Chains A and B, each alone.
Chain A
Amino acid sequence: MTPFPFAAIVGQDEMKTAMILTAVDPSIGGVLVFGDRGTGKSTAVRALSGLLPPLKMVAGCPVNSADPADVPDWARGAGTAVEARPTPVIDLPLGATEDRVTGALDIEAALARGETAFEPGLLARANRGYLYIDEINLLEDHIVDLLLDVAQSGENVVEREGLSIRHPARFVLVGSGNPEEGELRPQLLDRFGLSVEVASPSDIEERIEVVKRRDAFDRDPDGFVGDWGDAQADLRDRIVAARGRLAGTGAGDDVLRDCAALCIALGADGLRGELTLLRAARALAAFDGARAPGRDQLRRVAAMALRHRLRRDPLDEAGTTARVARAVEEVLA
């Protein structure tokens, strides 16, 4: 099914910016989207595969390798031809078994041919792309542990049932959820590079426009995608250009100082906050076409890079965004 065009998503600028930044620089880490139901979280994530430029990958390779030399030796049915395919955006459904996530013994091959073969799981399919977990706050603990490990190392190791397999699993983790239904373990929270909060727009005109576009899309998906083709292509070109510029986008000492001052003012744990803030500001600068990030970029990414790293106060339900905004006001005055 055709995904809804990313460029046609109304409002939700922070969420869209966060996703574009991870497309420009995947090393920023994942995106966490928390907010009400029906605010376009899943629509935006699924739209990514239509937005991003196609990847070159070996036909039939289970881990989407770019080069035939990288195809793992356990893979069966991989050819040598390289073809362009859309960036994978893989859904990890709640309650997925460990087998389905990491891959497991291929029962089919074991039963039919008596072979010990590996059937790759979702992590293999998400390599070089996105792994999307809706309702991530309800994910079972053992799957969370597994994801943390893989997201950290970029490699999936399977040692079970007589198998000993490892394959690359580098992906951008995108999680979404409704905070009313449960919280995320801090260990997982910290692994996300960016976090955004989405709310239903309160402007009636904006709401009408959302419903109108969705309706037009549902009635005639192909026509609607065609109408937005140019806007999509423009956005895609900007992302590709930003990727090219990224390596040349430096950051001066003054920006580093600002990053550190912000993190100190907020008491964010660890240095991950500074690094992410810097990376996100650089990616945004590249996307804006600037040579180096400035205070403007820092202001725009500070909330998404830092709000989930603050120490929690059980009294302060929605206060982290406000706290970041206050610190930005003070430090970058």
Chain B
Amino acid sequence: MSAPRWAAAIRALHCFAADPVALGGLHLRARSSDARRLWLGRLHDRLGPVARLHPDISDEVLLGGLDLDAALRTGEARHRAGLLDRHEVAILAMAERATPGLCARLGQALDAGRTGLLALDEGVADEGLNPALADRMALSIDLEGLRAVEAPALAPLPDSAALDDDTARQRLVALAQALGIASLRAPGQALRVARLSAALDGRADVAEADLAFATAVALVPRATRLLQPEAEPEQDTPPDPPPDTEDEAAAPDLPPEGAEILLEAALAQLPPDLLARLAAGHVPRAAGTGAGAARKGNRRGRPLPSRPGRPDGRARIDLPATLRAAAPWQRLRGGGPGERVRIRASDIRLKRFEVKSDRLIVFAVDASGSAAFARLAEAKGAVELLLAEAYARRDHVALIAFRGADAQLLLPPTRSLLRTKRALAGLPGGGGTPLAAGLREGLELAHHARGRGMDPALVVLTDGRPNVALSGETSRAAAAQDAATLAAAIRARAIPGLVIDTGNRPAPALAELAARMGATCLPLPRADAERLSRAVADAL
């Protein structure tokens, strides 16, 4: 299975080396391994000098700026060209840790068409390269799970029918659409890859095999769905179609001509787990965090030891530490008593601070029906236990109960144990299950908390049988649909969550809801307060 993958990886390497700038870049996803070492060694043999970037690189080094070293030494201002100005190819190590700011700058450089970027992404699970940057890079290969065999030389592709330009373009565009790739950069990049691949074999026209290769390295890694998704047997089909079927409806029913063959050929060159992920409906998640979630700053918070660096307009200079660093060198630098202190760029120390944003755990508790009394007692206990530890962990808690027709905020975000106990004392139960209303209340609370710089998480305790819709109407179908819509909204706002199934038997519908929320589902049929609090603390 691994031989075609290796061949594709090697071919991608040669394509990238042939014209890095036109392709934008190559996204290499691999943890440190022999295979990766071998592959990178091969690439370095084929490339000239490259710029090495790391996620903490400063603007001045990247894009050029004042050469502080020379300025302090000679008293004259000298400019230094940035790494991107001096090199055509840049290698970004630990690309998964690059900040959105760095990715934006690199994206601009790629847009300007003067740089080819190799992004070395060692992310695990959901970590990964910034999607905006990844979209600008034509090639994407994954060496995960490949054993280090002696890297084969570039083997010519098997003979296949030559295609004219229009056909090739049409096929790639149609396939990209069938795979659910919204970006129109992708098919254009795939075409460029196919042409380079043909040129590597000394052919003037692209052939079927080139298209299959381009599909494997430029299209499939971006796919958001497989061709012809299997109709899943649904146990409880809601009468109304869920609102997110729009894109499926917009997709062509039949894959375009030749697409299946193309895809089949491409699949052999891909890691098998990629397909498994796709089939499981794992769509790459937005990695953006939005504003206000930053936890580390260099302006305020608890001071950390200062560290050497250059003033970049963001960090503040730690003057005592800078002087301390310069002091031992004064005699060597020709200073002495009465002379002015001679400071070099390497002496400069920057202040660093660490801020931890406060966490808010919002409990949305099902207070409906018969089991409510027990459930509520558990939830109350868990809230109190969490609060008892809150001082050390800086957690705030809030409690929402939903029953009857709507949800009620029983306890606004607080850290006060006393206040909590009072608010929880008179908590009534009984009535219908307006799960959607509870989710909405939780979402709004979390949203506002985030606006105030807190880090919210949502814990839902329910037995998963919603029967009251947002409108107040008693209908299982409408209630389930409203809950599903809100779950999607919670996911879109990237609020971490936990769904605790308190029913006697785990409800599959609830697991589905949790997946929609992007949350973990935890069946805890007979949990007491202590287990509950432990589960929440572990999961979040």
Q: Which of B418-450 contact A (CB under 8 A)?
A: 440, 443-444, 447
Contact indicator A1/B313 (Cβ below 8 Å):
no
Contact flags A87-115 to B (C-beta < 8 A → 1, else 0) = 00001011111111000100111011000
Contact flags B66-101 to A (C-beta < 8 A → 1, else 0) = 100001100111000000000000000000000111
Choice from B22, B72, B100 contacting A138 with Cβ under 8 Å: B100
Contact indicator A211/B191 (Cβ below 8 Å):
yes
Q: Which of A18-61 contact B (CB under 8 A)?
A: 36-40, 42, 46
Determine the distance from Cα of A201 to Cα of B252 in the docked complex, in whole angstroms.
13
Please give the residue numbers on chain B whose beta carbons come within 8 Å of chain A beta carbons, in ascending order.
22, 59, 66, 71-72, 75-77, 99-105, 107-108, 111-114, 131-132, 135, 169-170, 172-174, 176-177, 182-188, 191-192, 250, 252, 256, 286-292, 294, 312-314, 440, 443-444, 447, 470, 482, 485-486, 488-489, 492-494
Contact indicator B291/A140 (Cβ below 8 Å):
yes
Stretch at the interface among A180-188, A247-255, A276-284, A300-308: A180-188
A69 at the interface (CB under 8 A from B): no
Stretch at the interface among A202-210, A234-242, A262-270: A202-210
A181 with B288: in contact, given A134-B104, A315-B485 (CB under 8 Å)?
yes
Chain A: CB-nearest residue to B187: A211
A212 at the interface (CB under 8 A from B): yes
Chain A: CB-nearest residue to B247: A202
Contact indicator B288/A137 (Cβ below 8 Å):
yes
Contact indicator A95/B101 (Cβ below 8 Å):
yes
By a CB distance below 8 angstroms, the chain B residues around A146 are none
The total of chain A residues at the interface (CB under 8 A) is 53
A153 at the interface (CB under 8 A from B): no
Determine the distance from Cα of A111 to Cα of B68 in the docked complex, in whole angstroms.
9
By a CB distance below 8 angstroms, the chain A residues around B132 are 37, 134-135, 178
A95 with B102: in contact, given A144-B291, A211-B188 (CB under 8 Å)?
yes
Contact indicator B290/A181 (Cβ below 8 Å):
yes
Contact indicator A204/B173 (Cβ below 8 Å):
yes
Determine the distance from Cα of A181 to Cα of B291 in the docked complex, in whole angstroms.
10
Least Cβ distance of A85 to chain B in Å?
A: 19
Determine the distance from Cα of A71 to Cα of B236 in the docked complex, in whole angstroms.
71
Least Cβ distance of B454 to chain A in Å?
A: 15
Q: Could you list 19 further interchain pairs (A-B, Cβ under 8 angstroms) beyond the known A108-B77, A207-B184, A317-B492? A: A1-B112, A36-B183, A93-B101, A96-B101, A97-B312, A104-B313, A134-B104, A135-B132, A140-B291, A182-B494, A183-B290, A185-B291, A202-B177, A211-B187, A211-B191, A218-B188, A315-B440, A315-B485, A317-B489
Choice from A94, A139, A199, A211 contacting B182 with Cβ under 8 Å: A199
Least Cβ distance of B423 to chain A in Å?
A: 25
Contact indicator A39/B313 (Cβ below 8 Å):
no
Determine the distance from Cα of A46 to Cα of B111 in the docked complex, in whole angstroms.
10
Among B176, B185, B289, B314: residue with most chain A CB under 10 A: B185
Determine the distance from Cα of A109 to Cα of B76 in the docked complex, in whole angstroms.
9
Contact indicator B492/A141 (Cβ below 8 Å):
no
27 contacts between A and B (CB under 8 A): A42-B111, A46-B111, A94-B100, A94-B103, A94-B104, A97-B312, A97-B313, A98-B313, A111-B75, A134-B104, A134-B132, A135-B100, A135-B132, A135-B288, A138-B291, A139-B291, A144-B291, A181-B290, A204-B173, A204-B177, A207-B176, A207-B177, A208-B170, A211-B184, A218-B188, A315-B486, A317-B488
Contact indicator B100/A39 (Cβ below 8 Å):
no
Among B112, B313, B470: residue with most chain A CB under 10 A: B313
Contact indicator B71/A38 (Cβ below 8 Å):
no
Contact flags A186-225 to B (C-beta < 8 A → 1, else 0) = 0000000000000111101001101110110010000000
Least Cβ distance of B78 to chain A in Å?
A: 9
By a CB distance below 8 angstroms, the chain A residues around B492 are 180, 317
Least Cβ distance of B408 to chain A in Å?
A: 18
Contact indicator A137/B290 (Cβ below 8 Å):
yes
A314 with B486: in contact, given A1-B113, A112-B76, A204-B174 (CB under 8 Å)?
yes
By a CB distance below 8 angstroms, the chain A residues around B111 are 42, 46
Least Cβ distance of B80 to chain A in Å?
A: 12
A138 with B288: in contact, given A95-B104, A204-B177, A315-B470 (CB under 8 Å)?
yes
